[in-house]
Amino acid sequence: MTTGSRGLEASERSPAKSRAEGPESQAADGTTAPTPAVAVDDLHKRFGTGPDAVTAVDGVSFEVDPGSVVGLLGPNGAGKTTLIKSILGMVVPDRGAVRIKGIDAREAPRAAYAHVDAMLEGARNDYWRLTVRENLRYFATISGVDPASVADRHERLLDRLDIADKADEPVRNLSRGMKSKVSLASVLAGGAEVVFLDEPTLGLDVESARTFQAEIRRLAAETGLTVILSSHDMGVVETVCDRVIVVSAGEIVADDTVDGLLRQGDAHTVELTSPAFDRGLLATLRDRVEVTAVDRLDRGARIEVTTDTEGLYALMATLRDQDVSLSRVRTVERDLSDVLVDLTTAEGA
Ligand SMILES: Nc1ncnc2c1ncn2[C@@H]1O[C@H](COP(=O)(O)OP(=O)(O)OP(=O)(O)O)[C@@H](O)[C@H]1O
């Protein structure tokens, strides 16, 4: 879907120039910091009233630097879509403020959203009877851009997203993955400086998802595009995001780089193999640690346990006390989805 109007000025100005000319704010130490592309302050949104009310966004604040790619992660129903829609003004928040490039979105919505575009919930923003190229021209036009002046950019987009050979096909004739690419191209066609992408790789095959990721990184690096995307695809998030905001039950529970998130917490997952692992011993171990997998072997079993450092020492002590010899010990690398599950299922999250 397309959100707001996209300004000619914004799209036609060179990004380097636009950054240089952009408003800056004075930091406490006297240095100037670029004005955040997006600043969200204490946003709240509740649906319904009484006992059935749902608090979808519960006091969320964050800032996004221009030219960065930020991932919004969280389980189903965490509030990601409502947060994005509240920032875009498609849902009216109960409280809180949104500033786009320093412009208050409530006081001056047209000016604030002139720089913004979005692709939400896999929704096709495209006109299926129009061809791919006609869609890009259409979206450029409603952004206030003369499509002829951006024809080269459109050709580049079609090339990079590998849909140039379908440029003159009506969108309705394309496969689902190709339609997703056209949606993305349409979002980028008018030259928005800030884009919101909700589940952008839904329906894309592995190669198309990779192309998409590379394109997002390139646009952020070369044109200063700011991207805020939500995805359940951890591969996408790990590859393209400079920073990840984890949302659970309407609140931010973590805000860090991918590496920072992977390092955080005191959880270890270890794979242990022993001929002595039988039903009785496994029951004893389950009392002490979380046994996340059991693979029975001809003799004994291979198990996977997740615990903190203290729990790991206690587990090893128990095995020693019971004279259990381990034939193999292997540390299992934790990935972003493990961290996400820990963060969003932690007590109180
Ligand atoms: N229009 C609405 N009316 C009532 N409740 C709503 C509405 N929109 C969302 N909600 C509720 O708000 C909560 C957050 O929903 P939201 O769609 O923002 O989550 P999400 O993180 O985007 O989930 P998903 O990953 O499943 O897309 C959920 O409990 C949802 O049922």
Number of structural domains found in the chain: 2
Predicted pLDDT at 26:
58
Judged against a pLDDT cut of 70, whether residue 7 lies above it is answered with no
Look at residue 341 and tell me whether its pLDDT is greater than 50.
Answer: yes
User: Is there an atom of ligand 1 within 6 Å of 179 CB?
Assistant: no
Residue bearing the bigger pLDDT, 61 or 17: 61
171 and 315 fall within a common domain: no
| pLDDT tens digits, one per residue of 273-308 | 999 999 999 999 988 888 989 999 999 999 999 888
| Terminal Cα distance for the chain, rounded | 32
At 345, the amino acid letter reads T
Query: How high is the pLDDT of residue 196?
Result: 93
Instruction: Establish whether residue 74 lines the binding site of ligand 1, counting it when its CB lies within 6 angstroms of any ligand atom.
Output: yes
For residues 183 and 315, membership in a common domain is answered with no
Residue pLDDT, tens place only, 162-191: 889 999 999 999 887 788 888 888 888 877
> Do residues 206 and 124 share a domain?
yes
What is the β-pairing status of strands 194-198 and 116-119?
parallel
Distance 70 CA to ligand 1 centre (A): 20
For ligand 1, whether the C-beta of 78 sits within 6 Å is yes
Nearest-CA residue for atom 7 of ligand 1 = 47
CA 39–ligand 1 middle distance (angstroms)? 22
Question: Does the Cβ of 300 fall within 6 Å of ligand 1?
Answer: no
- Counting residues of the chain whose pLDDT is more than 90, the rounded percentage is 46
* 178 within domain boundaries: yes
Atom of ligand 1 nearest to the CA of 74: 21
Q: Cα 154 vs. chain centroid, distance in angstroms? A: 25
Residue among 148, 160, 135, 186 at smallest CA distance from 6: 186
Residue 76 near ligand 1, beta carbon < 6 Å: yes
CA of 260 to the centre of ligand 1 (A): 28
Ligand 1 neighbour 47 (Cβ under 6 A): yes
Query: What residue owns the CA closest to ligand 1's atom 11?
Result: 56
More confident residue, 157 or 349: 157
Output phi, psi for 29, to 5 deg. Answer: -85, 10
Q: Is residue 2 part of a domain?
A: no
The mean predicted confidence, pLDDT, of the chain is 84
Q: Does 251 lie in the same domain as 131?
A: yes
**pLDDT higher than 90, residue 160:** no
Query: Ligand 1: does its nearest atom lie under 6 Å from the Cβ of 31?
Result: no
Q: What is the pLDDT of residues 135-156, one digit of tens each?
A: 999 888 887 788 888 888 889 8
Looking at ligand 1, which atom is closest to the CA of residue 84? 18
Instruction: Examine the fold and report which residue of 247, 262, 277 is the final residue of a domain before the chain moves on.
Output: 262
CATH number assigned to the domain comprising residue 67: 3.40.50.300
Decide whether any atom of ligand 1 lies within 6 Å of the 246 Cβ: no
Does residue 45 line the site of ligand 1, with CB under 6 A?
Answer: no
Query: Which pLDDT value is given to residue 267?
Result: 77
For ligand 1, whether the C-beta of 231 sits within 6 Å is: no
What confidence tier does 64 reach under pLDDT thresholds 50, 70, 90? very high
For residues 293 and 277, is the Cβ–Cβ distance under 8 A?
Answer: no
Listed ranges 209-218, 310-319, 335-344; the one with the highest mean pLDDT? 310-319
What is the span of the domain harbouring residue 288? Answer: 268-333
Q: Ligand 1 mean position to 45 CA, how many Å?
A: 10
Q: Are residues 186 and 252 in the same domain?
A: yes
- Note whether residue 55 is domain-resident: no
The reply to whether 168 falls in a domain is yes
Q: Do 310 and 212 have their domain in common?
A: no
Nearest 5°: CA angle at 343, between 338 and 349?
A: 145
Which CATH number does the domain housing residue 314 bear? 3.30.70.980
How far is the C-alpha of 156 from the C-alpha of 148, rounded, in Å? 14
8 pLDDT more than 50: no
- Examine the pLDDT at 102 and tell me if it is beyond 70: yes
**CA 231 to ligand 1 centroid distance, Å:** 15
Higher per-residue pLDDT: 343 or 19: 343
Question: Can you give the pLDDT at residue 121?
Answer: 63
The answer to whether 188 and 136 have CB atoms below 8 angstroms apart is: no
Which ipTM value was assigned to this complex?
Answer: 0.97
